[in-house]
Amino acid sequence: MNALTTLLMGHLGRWFPHRAGTGLRAVGAPDGDSPVLVSCNYTLSVARLLRELEGLDVWVLVAQSSGINVWCAACGGEFTDHQVVSAIKTSGLAEKVNHRRIILPGLSAPGMDVSSIREKTGFRARFGPAEASDIRAYLDAGMKKRAGMERKSFGLGHRLDMLLGMNFVWWAPVAALFAIFWREHLVHLSVLFWGTALGVYVLFPWIPGRRGWTKSFIVTLALVAGYVGAGRYMHADPFFFWPWIIGAALLTAMIGMDLGGTAGPVPSDAEEALHRLGMKSMGSFMKEKAIGKVALDREACTGCFTCNAICPVGVFGRDPVVSRTRLARRSDCFSCGACVKQCPERALSIRA
């Protein structure tokens, strides 16, 4: 039953938190010298981490994140050094291992103060790969990242993985209404919704626009044009399908609700809308995080390049003249805050 629940929550309801048990877990037969990997307590995150670690002897320390995934929880203040410190102290980790090293998820950087973890527990924390699929290679290499391990992939595989879980929550209630009141149109609705969602997620990089809602609006125009053309050709009335024209607009707005960080690294329209309305959060769906662009204080920068090692999308480059950081791909930044949190010189900030 637990495996089934994990599957359903992970793939049908990613908008909602789902808590796994916290504490220290033994994978294989770890001893005092085995590595310790930290995870949040989102059920799907824990399940996927354990799957990647099959056949290894390691410790997994599951820290509280209110059942939210690593990146969202770290950005929203639910998965921080405070939760990691608490997990270390309450799990008895210090009595289980001879070393004092832990490996944090790469995408947890927006919420972690590694110096605080060391000060309060004696454990040195380092950030592992951004993708769970790279963890085995990372451990085999002596906990050293090869090129690209710090980056989050938003390729086709990722987008298809997110497709069902991010959109089922919108389709299900609408489909239920149709099943009750307009059953004869349920198949049409489902084909329209899932066909459009699949198109948006597959073609995401090539649909014009930077914002999710901008991309959705362009798709809406294409759908409207299709219905207008069909109405004119089949019934000599361009607005014959007017209910479906309105429905297509509403459905694409749902699909584009929060494409930031799901289908691709673009700003979240929903989060920005909340901020403009003066709302800091909406239950467990979205938590407050800084909205704006990363700014660099070139005078404070010492060129340590920590920012590049932690940025999940590779915004930073090195200035060849002064050997310091530069914002080489400023337009790709979507303000996750990882670089700001980890910069040792406080040379980075997020400004509206």
Structure confidence by residue, pLDDT tens digits, 267-322: 666 666 665 655 555 554 455 455 677 899 988 999 999 999 999 989 998 888 77
In this prediction, residues 45-61 reach a mean pLDDT of: 95
* Region of poorest pLDDT, from 11-25, 76-90, 163-177: 11-25
Alpha carbon distances (Å) from 191 to 171, 188, 199, 236, 320:
11, 5, 12, 24, 53
What percent of the chain is predicted at pLDDT more than 70?
89
Q: Which residue has the higher pLDDT, 6 or 258?
A: 258
What pLDDT sits at residue 291?
Answer: 62
Query: In what helix (H) or strand (E) does residue 105 lie, and over which residues does it extend?
Result: none
Q: What 3 state SS string does 255-272 have?
A: HCCCCECCCECCCCHHHH
Sign of CA dihedral 109, 115, 117, 118: positive
Q: Are 171 and 191 in contact (CB under 8 A)?
A: no
Q: Where is average pLDDT lowest: 40-54, 102-116, 253-267? A: 253-267
Tokens of 238: 């361009």
pLDDT at 8: 66
pLDDT above 60 (res 118): yes
What is the overall mean pLDDT for the chain? 88
Q: Which of 309, 349, 342 is nearest to 111 (CA)?
A: 342
- B/e letters for 37-56, b = 16+ CB within 10 Å, e = fewer, are bbbbbbbbbbbbbbebbeeb
Say which CATH class 2-140 falls into.
alpha beta
In this predicted structure, the answer to whether residue 143 has a pLDDT above a threshold of 70 is yes
How high is the pLDDT of residue 15? 77
Close Cβ partners of 144 (under 8 Å, ≥ 6 residues apart): 138
Report which DSSP code applies to 26.
E
Percent of the chain whose pLDDT exceeds 90: 63
**What would the pLDDT profile of 183-213 be if each residue is shown by its tens digit?**
999 999 999 999 999 999 999 999 998 778 8
Higher model confidence: residue 218 or residue 330?
218
CB 162 within 8 A of CB 262: yes
For the ranges 120-129, 151-160, 249-258, the lowest mean pLDDT is seen at 249-258
The answer to whether residue 261 scores a pLDDT higher than 70 is no
Give residue 284's pLDDT. 46
Phi, psi at 127, each rounded to 5°: -95, 130
Q: How confident is the model at residue 263 (pLDDT cuts 50, 70, 90)?
A: confident
| Residue carrying the six token digits 């149709």 | 178
Contacts of 345 (CB under 8 A, 6+ apart): 300, 301, 302, 304
Pick the range with the lowest mean pLDDT from 13-27, 117-131, 151-165, 290-304. Answer: 290-304
pLDDT at 1: 45
Q: Which helix (H) or strand (E) holds 218?
A: helix 212-235
CATH of 284-351, one of 3.40.50.300, 3.20.20.70, 3.40.50.720, 3.30.70.20: 3.30.70.20
**Which pLDDT value is given to residue 10?**
64
Give, in degrees to the nearest 5, the angle at Cα 341 between 335 and 347. Answer: 90
